[in-house]
């Protein structure tokens, strides 16, 4: 058993809740308010939270009250886990885990599955080495789902106290007094000596126990979070004289932190000549054809590099997905160039009167469906390009049941309009899927 666990076992665990004021219900209410203020609340059913170093459950019970479906409560102190269990009153959301926070996350969570991880009330400084904090943050980043949040509260012990300032009164009641004494060992460690006086009748007894705490500075911790791939949102003075840090796991990291510059950079850096490599002057037909080609290339770009599952992801309540958009635009091309202008008998491939939303509803995560969508789209684009190339002028006409007479000029303009609208959807879908941006 390490020094910290021994200290909690022998001295601190049985007085821990008393040390914090004695009223766990009030502590839970305080932590519930704090976590809600920090944006730690489930966004839907089925979310998991993890409380690292849960103690008697101040944050665990708060997370359960906030509505997380599962709250793993991790601690090395059996006594404190038992206290938590008695307060949890059989709440099935709360799962006590008797384990070390340095190894537990890969054991209890799937990668990218936890909506929230908290390590509060100075637990972080209980780790024996700073390298352990660094490793824990990497584990947190791996365990957090996209947009999942980490909350840490800890004491910054980097500035040494001197002389009698090192005696810190913790709590006193008529029968019990707790004082701690800090001994600065080296740059990384402070030895905390807890001195507990208890009255028994007219006599007082003294119990002393010691354990090391880490000296963690705010700048260092922010740097470690960033290195682990977490975006620090708040780094400030927190409750009870502690520092408060919140960090979020974002999607793929931007090229720069400046959103404006990053988007602009993506335009200038666009390497596909179909998108930005044609002149902005000249002949009407060439201009319409080039702008339409740029819109089509943008759709391809927005879908590049996705897995089959990602390609069909939508954002509720919408059923729009990138795969659905490819299927939809294949049918759009087919309608206007084959049916309307060329007069072919060419029913939609993916929709029908009986199934008007088949293009989106049928966008299921199946490699054959993805391949079929792209094959169809490319065939329709090839037909359209050939039709335009052979048309004698832009005033050739076709007939559409809804619009009546339509010219090739109008169809080209309409297709640009249609792609531009759907590429806007594609921008948002892609950013939601993996954070990838660019125009």
Ligand X SMILES: C[S@@+](CC[C@H](N)C(=O)[O-])C[C@H]1O[C@@H](n2cnc3c(N)ncnc32)[C@H](O)[C@@H]1O
Question: Interface residues with ligand X (CB under 6 A)?
Answer: 4, 8, 53-55, 58-59, 74-77, 80, 100-102, 120-123, 126-127
CB of 188 vs ligand X, minimal distance in Å: 16
Q: Token pair for residue 217?
A: 């500075």
Nearest to 156 by CA among 237, 65, 211, 44: 237
Q: Which is nearer to ligand X, 4 or 416 (CB)?
A: 4
Minimum CB distance to ligand X, residue 133 (Å):
11
Task: Round to whole Å and give the CA distance between 266 and 261.
Answer: 8
Q: Which is nearer to ligand X, 247 or 411 (CB)?
A: 247
* Token pair belonging to 343: 């007069």
Nearer to ligand X, 98 or 274 (CB): 98
**Beta carbon of residue 75, minimum distance to ligand X (angstroms, whole number):** 4
Distance in Å, CB of 76 to ligand X, minimum: 4
* Cβ-based nearer residue to ligand X, 33 or 264: 33
CB of 101 to ligand X, least distance (A): 4
CB of 261 to ligand X, least distance (A): 40
**Nearer to ligand X (CB atom), residue 126 or residue 334:** 126
Cβ 62 to ligand X shortest distance, Å = 10
* Tokens (6 digits) for 133: 């904090």
Closest CB to ligand X among 101 and 299? 101
Report which residue's Cβ sits closest to ligand X.
121
Token readout for 14 is 């049985």
Query: Rounded to whole angstroms, what are the CA distances from 23 to 63, 140, 141, 196?
Result: 18, 30, 33, 19
Q: Which residue number, 135 or 413, has a Cβ lying nearer to ligand X?
A: 135
55 versus 270: smaller Cβ distance to ligand X: 55
Helix axes 367-390, 322-333, angle to 10 degrees: 30
Contact 48, 80 (CB under 8 A): no
Give dist(CA 132, CA 124) in Å, integer. 9
As given in the structure block, the two tokens for residue 26 are 């009030």
Residue 53: both structure tokens together: 């170093």
Whole-angstrom CA distances from 219 to 120, 189, 245 are 18, 17, 11
Residue 433 per-residue DSSP state: H
Q: How far is the CB of 52 from ligand X (least distance, A)?
A: 7
What is the per-residue DSSP string for 116-149?
Answer: EEEE-SS-GGGSS-HHHHHHHHHHHHHHEEEEEE
Of 131 and 286, nearer to ligand X (C-beta) is 131
User: Which 3 state secondary structure label does DSSP give 53?
Assistant: coil
* Least Cβ distance, residue 178 to ligand X (angstroms): 13
**Contacting residues for 170 by C-beta, under 8 A, at least 6 apart:** 19, 178, 179, 180, 194
- H-helix or E-strand spanning residue 102: helix 101-108
């Amino acid at each position: 058993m390490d020094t910290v666990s021994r200290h909690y076992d022998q001295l601190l665990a049985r007085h821990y809740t008393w040390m914090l004021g004695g009223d766990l219900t009030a502590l839970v209410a305080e932590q519930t308010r704090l976590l809600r203020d920090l944006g730690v609340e489930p966004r839907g059913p089925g979310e998991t939270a993890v409380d690292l170093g849960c103690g008697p459950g101040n944050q665990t019970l708060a997370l359960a009250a906030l509505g997380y479906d599962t709250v793993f409560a991790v601690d090395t102190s059996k006594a404190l886990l038992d206290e938590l269990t008695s307060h949890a009153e059989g709440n099935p959301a709360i799962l006590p885990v008797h384990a070390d926070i340095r190894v537990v996350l890969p054991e209890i969570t799937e990668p990218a599955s936890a909506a929230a991880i908290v390590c509060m009330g100075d637990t972080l400084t209980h780790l024996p080495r700073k390298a352990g904090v660094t490793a824990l943050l990497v584990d947190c980043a791996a365990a957090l789902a996209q947009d999942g949040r980490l909350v840490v509260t800890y004491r910054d012990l980097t500035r040494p106290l001197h002389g009698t300032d090192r005696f810190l009164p913790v709590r006193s009641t008529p029968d019990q007094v707790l004082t701690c004494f800090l001994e600065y060992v080296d740059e990384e460690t402070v030895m905390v000596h807890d001195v507990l006086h208890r009255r028994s009748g007219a006599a007082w007894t003294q119990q002393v126990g010691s354990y090391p705490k880490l000296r963690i500075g705010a700048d260092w911790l922010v740097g470690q979070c960033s290195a682990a791939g977490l975006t620090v949102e708040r780094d400030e003075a927190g409750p009870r004289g502690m520092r408060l840090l919140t960090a979020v796991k974002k999607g793929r990291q931007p090229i720069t932190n400046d959103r404006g510059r990053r988007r602009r950079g993506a335009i200038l850096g666009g390497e596909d000549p179909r998108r930005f490599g044609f002149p902005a002057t000249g002949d009407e037909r060439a201009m319409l054809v080039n702008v339409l080609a740029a819109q089509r290339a943008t759709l391809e770009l927005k879908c590049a590099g996705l897995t089959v599952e990602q390609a069909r992801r939508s954002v509720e309540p919408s059923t729009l997905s990138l795969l659905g958009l490819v299927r939809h635009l294949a049918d759009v091309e087919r309608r206007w160039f084959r049916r309307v202008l060329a007069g072919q008998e060419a029913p939609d491939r993916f929709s029908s009167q009986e199934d008007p939303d088949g293009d989106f509803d049928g966008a299921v995560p199946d490699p054959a469906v993805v391949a079929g969508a792209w094959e169809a789209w490319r065939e329709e684009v090839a037909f359209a390009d050939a039709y335009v190339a052979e048309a004698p002028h832009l005033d050739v006409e076709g007939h559409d049941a809804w619009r009546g007479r339509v010219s090739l000029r109008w169809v080209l303009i309409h297709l640009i309009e249609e792609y531009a609208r759907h590429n806007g959807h594609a921008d948002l879908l892609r950013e939601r899927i993996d954070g990838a941006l660019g125009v």
